[in-house]
Chain A
Amino acid sequence: MHNRKAGIAFLALGAVLIISALLLLRSNTLQDRQAGEYSLDALDGIQAAIAENSAAAATPQSQESPEPSEEPEDESGEMKTVTIDGNDYIGYLSIPELELVLPVISDWGWDYNRLQIAPCRQQGSTKTDDIVIAAHNYDSHFGKLKDLSLGDSLSFTDVMGKCIQYELKKLETVDPHKVDYVLDSGYDLVLYTCTYGGEFRVVGFFDRTEDTTKK
């Protein structure tokens, strides 16, 4: 009798645990999908802004200065931004191997809400070749970062349409306390996200290969 009761209790417990797992999985999946939608929405806005900025830069000037006017190079290292739905973006990443195109928020500002929308710049700039971008391990964000191989390329396009190519030089799983190792790596661009369990960080270290300006 006791065994039967215990057996039923175990069956009930098992059912509860499995249902909890499925509910959590569903919640995570929905969150992932939502993050992907947010990113797409922002990306449309960014690409429209880039098209506008590029057109403005290509506007013919007076006859006395036949060369198309260019914005004076900002030596401060600050990247220009475009504001969409209250968030400032510095451009977008394209990672062909992962079939990802993602907007990048200018500054994560210790706000985890922003990471639910898009990858965020933690520090640095493409102008000073020390940019570090973090994103959640959603499949729609950096969840597939671990699937990259050495030599894989990506590009970053800023809001003025300047496109910079990078190549993956190193891909590692890193202890999250090795902050300086990631933030002061010496590489031109660093992307990172959590491992599946959240305990460690998958970090991709990239170096610049070439610049092209979007026409």
Chain B
Amino acid sequence: MKKMFKRVSSLLLILILMFSLSVPAFAAELNFLGRKTNFSVNSNNMVTATDLFGNFKSVMPGDTLTEIVTITNLAVDCDYIKLYIRAVAHGAQNAPLIGEDIAKMNDFLSQLSMEVYQGTKLIYSGSPDTLDGFANNVYLGQFRKNQGTQLTVNLQVPSSLGNEYANMAGEVDWVFTVESYNEAGKLIQTGQMNWPVPVLLGLGVLALAAGLFMVSRKRKDNA
């Protein structure tokens, strides 16, 4: 499969864990729509348009929460994509969108623990302030149109988390990168599945003929 054309599209997601503020939680969907449109995020979160962590709000000590993120390739302008994920640390060059003090926010996040699974494969484990397995691009797979993958994100809040963290919010930045490919080296396939018709018919007639021969031969032997 020769790589003809590759374009890289990235989406920086600001994922927000909020210790207070109750907001409705909905399913999180990330769709790649193509080279021109890039990504769409369906989370219906009230915090930001790209916040996939709808279930990580009103976090309380002792909570174990799960967010399932479904990622689907809906592009029609490429044959398939390769998908990657990585995390971006906050610092002077990357201030959190929610306006929290970076040191305080990272301190809050360091109290929590997060695991990310792709299927049964653990691809990230650590406190959300660390990059852990997401320090570099992690390959999530190759997907044709309407194919995709799911990430299961588990967040654990220690029961010992103190009141000093009340009303805190934490932000995690994930970057999804897509490489889109077209299969080159061949003219468009513009044929119906015609060839099996005569093949099946021919084989069917042969099988019928063989069957009739065997059955009639048996009758002759009995005669």
**A residues in contact (CB < 8 Å) with B:** 3-4, 6-21, 24-25, 28, 31-32, 108-113, 115, 122, 134-138, 142, 174, 176-179, 182, 192-198, 201
Does any Cβ of A come within 8 Å of B166's Cβ?
A: no
A198-B189 contact in complex given A3-B217, A4-B215, A28-B194, C-beta closer than 8 Å: yes
A10-B210 contact in complex given A24-B196, A24-B200, C-beta closer than 8 Å: yes
Closest 9 CB pairs of A and B: A194-B191, A7-B214, A198-B191, A17-B204, A10-B211, A14-B207, A14-B208, A11-B211, A18-B204
- Chain B residue nearest to A192 (CB atoms) is B187
Which residues in chain B, 150-182, are within 8 Å of chain A measured between CB atoms? 182
Asked whether, in the complex, the Cβ of B218 is within 8 Å of the Cβ of A197, the reply is no
Complex Cα–Cα for A201 and B195 (A): 14
Complex Cα–Cα for A176 and B213 (A): 43
The SS class assigned to the B binding surface is: helix
| Smallest CB separation, B185 vs chain A (Å) | 6
Residues in A with CB closer than 8 Å to B191 are 136-137, 193-198
- Chain B residue nearest to A1 (CB atoms) is B218
| 14 A-B contact pairs sorted by A residue (CB < 8 Å) | A7-B217, A9-B211, A13-B211, A14-B205, A14-B207, A18-B208, A28-B197, A137-B190, A177-B186, A179-B186, A192-B187, A194-B191, A198-B194, A198-B195
| Smallest CB separation, B206 vs chain A (Å) | 7
Among the stretches B21-29, B74-82, B116-124, B131-139, the one at the interface with A is: B74-82
* Set B185, B193, B195: member contacting A179, Cβ < 8 A: B185
Contact mask for chain B residues 103-125; partner A; CB cutoff 8 A; 1 contact, 0 none: 00000000000000000000000
Q: Add 4 more A-B contacts to A10-B210, A179-B184, A198-B195 (CB < 8 A).
A: A3-B217, A17-B201, A110-B76, A198-B194
- Chain B residue nearest to A201 (CB atoms) is B187
| Smallest CB separation, A108 vs chain B (Å) | 7
| Smallest CB separation, A203 vs chain B (Å) | 8
Asked whether, in the complex, the Cβ of B187 is within 8 Å of the Cβ of A4, the reply is no
Residues in A with CB closer than 8 Å to B193 are 24, 28, 198
- Chain A residue nearest to B208 (CB atoms) is A14
Asked whether, in the complex, the Cβ of A21 is within 8 Å of the Cβ of B188, the reply is no
* Set A112, A135, A138, A176: member contacting B186, Cβ < 8 A: A176
Asked whether, in the complex, the Cβ of B204 is within 8 Å of the Cβ of A136, the reply is no
The SS class assigned to the A binding surface is: helix
A15-B196 contact in complex given A110-B77, A111-B76, C-beta closer than 8 Å: no
| Tally of chain B residues near chain A (CB < 8 A) | 38
Residues in B with CB closer than 8 Å to A137 are 190-192, 194
Asked whether, in the complex, the Cβ of B190 is within 8 Å of the Cβ of A16, the reply is no
A196-B186 contact in complex given A18-B205, A110-B76, C-beta closer than 8 Å: no
Complex Cα–Cα for A194 and B190 (A): 5
Asked whether, in the complex, the Cβ of A31 is within 8 Å of the Cβ of B214, the reply is no
* Set B186, B198, B206, B217: member contacting A14, Cβ < 8 A: B206
Does any Cβ of A come within 8 Å of B203's Cβ?
A: yes
| Smallest CB separation, A195 vs chain B (Å) | 7
Does any Cβ of A come within 8 Å of B212's Cβ?
A: yes
- Chain A residue nearest to B182 (CB atoms) is A110
Asked whether, in the complex, the Cβ of A134 is within 8 Å of the Cβ of B194, the reply is no
- Chain A residue nearest to B219 (CB atoms) is A4
Complex Cα–Cα for A139 and B214 (A): 41
Residues in B with CB closer than 8 Å to A17 are 200-201, 203-204, 207
Complex Cα–Cα for A20 and B198 (A): 11
Asked whether, in the complex, the Cβ of A115 is within 8 Å of the Cβ of B195, the reply is no
A15-B76 contact in complex given A3-B218, A115-B190, C-beta closer than 8 Å: no
Complex Cα–Cα for A122 and B184 (A): 13
